[in-house]
Structure 1
Amino acid sequence: MVKAVFIDFYGTLVHEDGAIIRKVSQIIFDTGVVQNYSDIGSYWWNEFQTMFHNAYGESFVTQRELEYRSLQKTIEHFHSTADAAELCEMMFRHWTAPPAFPKAKVFLEACLVPVYIVSNIDTSDINKAIAFHSFMPDGVFTSEDARSYKPRSELFAYAMRKTGFSPYEVVHIGDSLSSDVKGAGAAGIKAIWINRSDKTVPDGVIAVNNLLDIFGTSFFRE
């Protein structure tokens, strides 16, 4: 049996900001020069990902700043009259008060080993979100702490260093195959994929449909 759980936050315990992103994209579509609505999301995502993957160590940039920069570039690209700061605030409000998934709080309270949140988000925002739901994890480690984002290994290494656990003593839980499953694997940590959409499960990946099913996996039955 594992001695501790590392768990992702957005997309795992609480909802991502997909609905807000669609609303922001619609505003850019309505105020810009755009032929296809889908082009907005594609361009914005590519800009964000480029900046995101270069943000580590001395070049680290907070999630809020990455969001603002990528959105500003998107607005400019599509000649929109929208205000990047105003649109970002819509996302930031979601980050600090996101809806929780059913049983998220039950999982945190029922887990018999310590649970540590490991998240690609700014420290202040996630602390506000945790307080909003009255979650009580045993610790919180963010990209801002480690100056690195998942799937790079630095955030996982930082969490292990702070908790004193080895890779073999923890399991990481998350909804992203790339950031959570592959990222944890690169740090030597086994992972459980939260697959709520019943997508095809890659070979070698342990997947569950909801948080409470995690207790039925081999990690909690050894």
Structure 2
Amino acid sequence: MIKAVFIDFYGTVVYEDGEVIQKVSQEIFVSGKVNDKSEIGSYWWNEFQTAFNNAYGDSFKAQRILEYKSLEKTIKHFKSSADAVKLSNLMFRHWIEPPIFEESKQFFELCPVPIYVLSNIDRADVLQAIKYHGLKPAGVFTSEDAKSYKPRKELFEFALNNVGLSAGEVLHIGDSLSSDIKGASSVGINAIWVNRNNREIPSGVTAVKNLIEIFDTKYFLHE
């Protein structure tokens, strides 16, 4: 029996920062030396992922720092005159006031078990976003708390220990196959993939198109 829901926030409850990233990439493109704008996103993502994957334990750094440093390297790499502080602030503003998916508030209202937010975004930012939309989760656990980012297991284990439940008593919901589904599964937590873009569903993965459809899965039909 499911006694609690863990839920990712950005990309699952609220919109991811894809539009902002496009704006940032455009700024670098028009002010730098690059033939194909897609090169900017690829380089930036690789720089961020490298730093992200190495940020845990004593080497942990907040996501704002990782995003800024990776963006700064990207601007320098493409010989752009763009302002890293100005462009970073566009992303940070999105993090604290992101647009919300249509059904998210209804999901929070209807869910029969406590909902806990698990986010890789810095604690202060996700708390502001939650307040901005008037959501009332039972708790919030972030990468800063666990000194580790999803899909590493530490954040999931930290949340389980704090709510006093076993992996089998929790359902994790997220939009990322790598961070959410893989991460939750690594500690034995059942997971549901929110597949809003109708992507191909891998074998063995339970997927829904929106949060309300989760109530029609085996995890809630018996409630």
TM-score, length-scaled by structure 1: 0.99
Q: Which residue does 1:164 correspond to in 2?
A: 164
**2: CA distance, partners of 1:82 / 1:197:** 32
What is the count of residue pairs matched by the alignment? 222
**2: CA distance, partners of 1:35 / 1:141:** 41
Q: Which residue does 2:55 correspond to in 1?
A: 55
Q: Residues 2-17 of structure 1 correspond to what in structure 2 (within 5 A)?
A: 2-17=2-17
Q: 5+ residue gaps in structure 1?
A: none
Q: RMSD of the alignment, in Å? A: 0.5
Shift of 1:198: 1.1
Deviation per CA, 1:45-72, whole angstroms, max 9, x where unpaired?
0000000000000000100000000000
Q: Which residue does 1:67 correspond to in 2?
A: 67
- For 1:83, give the aligned amino acid: D
Q: Which residue does 2:218 correspond to in 1?
A: 218
Shift of 1:117: 0.3
Q: Which residue does 2:206 correspond to in 1?
A: 206
Q: Which residue does 2:155 correspond to in 1?
A: 155
- For 1:55, give the aligned amino acid: A
3-state DSSP of counterpart to 1:218: coil
Q: Which residue does 2:132 correspond to in 1?
A: 132
**2: CA distance, partners of 1:179 / 1:151:** 4
Deviation per CA, 1:111-170, whole angstroms, max 9, x where unpaired?
000000001110000000000000000000000110000000000000001100100000
**2: CA distance, partners of 1:96 / 1:4:** 25
Q: Which residue does 1:93 correspond to in 2?
A: 93
Q: 5+ residue gaps in structure 2?
A: none
Q: Percent identity?
A: 61
Q: Which residue does 1:196 correspond to in 2?
A: 196
Q: Which residue does 2:117 correspond to in 1?
A: 117
**1: CA distance, partners of 2:41 / 2:161:** 37
Q: Which residue does 2:21 correspond to in 1?
A: 21
Q: Which residue does 1:103 correspond to in 2?
A: 103
Deviation per CA, 1:13-50, whole angstroms, max 9, x where unpaired?
00000000000000000110111111000000000000
Shift of 1:197: 1.0
TM-score, length-scaled by structure 2: 0.99
Runs of 4+ in 1 over 2 A off after TM superposition: none
3-state DSSP of counterpart to 1:6: strand
Shift of 1:83: 1.1
